[in-house]
Chains A and B, each alone.
Chain A
């Protein structure tokens, strides 16, 4: 079956513009994660959705960042009024549940460049 897909693969935007990044998880996966990875660095947790529970937004760096998920399917990460420090690869991952042992399957990422 299809893996996690993300779109666009690359996004170049001007400072101050809003961007929307999309993630399509593996069908049937109830858990969905967003991470940010700056160049040469590790993965920074942003937000976590699990089924119908309220999302864990504790990793969102500012109120310019928000994310939504429609049921147990597509998720969009929105960054408003982008800044140059938002430039990074944004990775989405899904897992079959939120249980401890479930591995995450990652998408290819969206590379965001803010000029």
Chain B
């Protein structure tokens, strides 16, 4: 079974608008962490934001926020005020605790295109 599901292979957004990238996950662990990474065409992986399973508030980092809905097992990334430089692949990842051995599993990614 897929641990991390990103259902949007590609997304378009107009510059300066907000966009939501979807991520759902599957775990039986009570303790886990959720991450989002950005991969521009250069290939580097850039950490964006983290949400812990016990965090009661949604994580925010500048223009990035994570819409965490624990009961629905979703951890959507919201990018506000999109910029042309946001065009990239975005990966959702989960690190499980004891049951997952603390390794990190990545989703298939969503390619975001920001239009001028």
Q: Give A contacts to B, CB under 8 Å.
A: 31, 33, 35, 41-45, 48, 50, 56, 58-59, 89, 91, 93, 98-101, 103-106, 108-109
Residue of A nearest to B55 (CB): A101
Residues of B near A43 (CB, < 8 A) are 91, 93, 106
B100 to chain A, nearest CB (A): 9
Specify which of A44, A56, A106 is in contact with B101 (CB 8 Å cutoff): A56
Known: A43-B91, A45-B103, A50-B102. A104 touches B47 (CB 8 A): yes
Q: Are B45 and A100 in contact (CB under 8 A)?
A: no
Q: Are B45 and A91 in contact (CB under 8 A)?
A: yes
B40 proximal to A (CB < 8 A) = no
A39 to chain B, nearest CB (A): 11
Q: Could you tell me which residues of chain B, from 65 to 99, have a CB within 8 Å of some CB in chain A?
A: 91, 93, 95, 97
